[in-house]
């Protein structure tokens, strides 16, 4: 090796070797593991490198900093950095950072994110119950709870609500920076998807304060097929007083042709339109899907 070759060797070694040495790729489960069950990740303070699919992208939990969640086949984890870095839903990323603990939530902080690919399929949300939500297990993962009720219908930002199913209760946190504030949720049971996260108000109690973080309005869903299709006449049949519908405050599913489109009957911001089937017509109020509402038949 001549002098130039040696200098190039030294230069390449200096640049590449440290990156290789720090890039000991480990599964997320290993990065966050807590074998002594004290609520603190055993690798706290260590620098780790993991890969994963972005399950909660940038700008939905924090518009100033990087506050995302990633998941590999072993586990999920929060990735945080005071530097804003782009991460879209479904991105495959390489993350190097320090294993850290914030209010009971394990995170990879001071993280550097490298994009490896885009539009990867998201992991199937893990089906949990409210009782299972209140444990350390599966923290950082994308999860789903079915058959839940929520303690309020009009959802506001920076607010916590109680979720309840047949196994107990847990907490859902509506982050103000998501699109969710203002969403009118279901008054009866529904399915919710979100990140299983944690924020304990008492840092001496590291195994409390578990909360679900929905990301989008579409994380709240009603299984429409579980609601029987009814005729419009049946839907608005009056009860004993001859005026109040028997089905008042019940979720119903009807179908009909639009006879009065929303662009005629809407005043203010809540769309209003009329539909009709073979039996009767009915007013549809405060509906979604604006393109459909405005169509004339």
The reply to whether 36 sits near Ca ion by the rule CB under 5 A is: yes
Between 191 and 230, how does the x/- string for binding to Ca ion read (CB under 5 A)? -------x--------------------------------
The reply to whether 34 sits near Ca ion by the rule CB under 5 A is: yes
CA 267 to chain centre: 32
Beta-strand pair 272-276/257-260:
antiparallel
Q: Of residues 30, 38, 246, 292, which one binds Ca ion by CB under 5 A?
A: 38
Between 114 and 153, how does the x/- string for binding to Ca ion read (CB under 5 A)? -------------------------x--------------
In 3D space, the residue among 144, 121, 124, 120 whose CA is nearest the CA of residue 132 turns out to be 144
Q: Are 232 and 282 in contact (CB under 8 A)?
A: yes
Instruction: Write down the least CB distance from residue 282 to Ca ion, Å.
Output: 49
Question: In this complex, which beta carbon is closest to Ca ion, that of residue 40 or of residue 149?
Answer: 40
Q: Give the dihedral sign, CA 24/25/31/36.
A: negative
Query: Which residue number has the CB closest to Ca ion?
Result: 34
The reply to whether 49 sits near Ca ion by the rule CB under 5 A is: no
Q: Of residues 52, 104, 194, 214, which one binds Ca ion by CB under 5 A?
A: 104
For 237, what's the count of Cα atoms within 13 Å in the CB-facing half-sphere? 9
Query: Which span sits near Ca ion by CB under 5 A: 30-38, 77-85, 140-148, 165-173?
Result: 30-38
DSSP helix/strand/coil, 290: helix
In 3D space, the residue among 184, 95, 166, 104 whose CA is nearest the CA of residue 136 turns out to be 104
DSSP3 helix / strand / coil % (the chain, rounded to 5): 15, 35, 45
Q: How far apart are CA 76 and CA 123, in angstroms?
A: 10
Count of residues that interact with Ca ion, criterion CB under 5 A: 8
Question: In this complex, which beta carbon is closest to Ca ion, that of residue 34 or of residue 175?
Answer: 34
Q: Are 29 and 71 in contact (CB under 8 A)?
A: no
Give the footprint of Ca ion on residues 246-285 (CB under 5 A).
Answer: none
Q: How far apart are CA 121 and CA 8, in angstroms?
A: 41
Q: How far apart are CA 145 and CA 164, in angstroms?
A: 10
Instruction: Write down the least CB distance from residue 205 to Ca ion, Å.
Output: 11
Question: In this complex, which beta carbon is closest to Ca ion, that of residue 34 or of residue 141?
Answer: 34
Instruction: Write down the least CB distance from residue 107 to Ca ion, Å.
Output: 9
Instruction: Write down the least CB distance from residue 30 to Ca ion, Å.
Output: 13
Query: Which span sits near Ca ion by CB under 5 A: 61-69, 101-109, 174-182, 184-192?
Result: 101-109
Q: Of residues 40, 98, 120, 149, which one binds Ca ion by CB under 5 A?
A: 40
Helix or strand holding residue 274 (H, E) = strand 272-276
Residue ranges in contact with Ca ion by CB under 5 A: 34, 36, 38, 40, 42, 104, 139, 198
């Amino acid at each position: 090796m001549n002098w130039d070759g040696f200098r190039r060797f030294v230069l390449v070694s200096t640049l590449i070797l440290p990156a290789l040495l720090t890039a000991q790729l480990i599964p997320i489960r290993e990065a966050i593991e807590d074998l002594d069950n004290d609520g603190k990740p055993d690798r706290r303070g260590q620098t780790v490198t993991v890969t994963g699919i972005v399950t909660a992208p940038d700008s939905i939990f924090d518009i100033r900093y990087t506050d995302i969640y990633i998941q590999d086949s072993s586990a999920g984890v929060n990735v945080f950095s005071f530097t804003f870095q782009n991460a879209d839903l479904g991105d495959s990323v390489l993350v190097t950072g320090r294993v850290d603990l914030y209010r009971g939530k394990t995170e990879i902080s001071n993280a550097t994110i490298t994009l490896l690919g885009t539009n990867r399929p998201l992991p199937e949300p893990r089906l949990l119950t409210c009782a299972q939500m209140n444990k350390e297990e599966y923290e950082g993962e994308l999860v789903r709870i079915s058959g839940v009720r929520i303690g309020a219908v009009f959802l506001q930002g920076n607010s916590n609500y109680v979720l309840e199913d047949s196994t107990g209760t847990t907490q859902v946190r509506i982050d103000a920076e998501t699109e969710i504030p203002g969403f009118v949720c279901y008054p009866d049971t529904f399915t919710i998807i979100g990140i299983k996260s944690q924020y304990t108000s008492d840092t001496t109690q590291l195994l409390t304060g578990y909360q679900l973080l929905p990301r989008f309005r579409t994380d709240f869903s009603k299984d429409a097929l579980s609601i029987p299709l009814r005729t419009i006449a049946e839907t608005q049949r009056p009860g004993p007083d001859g005026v109040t519908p028997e089905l008042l405050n019940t979720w119903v599913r009807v179908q009909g042709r639009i006879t009065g489109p929303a662009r005629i009957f809407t005043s203010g911001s809540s769309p209003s339109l009329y539909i009709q089937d073979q039996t009767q017509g009915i007013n549809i109020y405060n509906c979604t899907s604006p393109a459909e509402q405005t169509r004339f038949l």
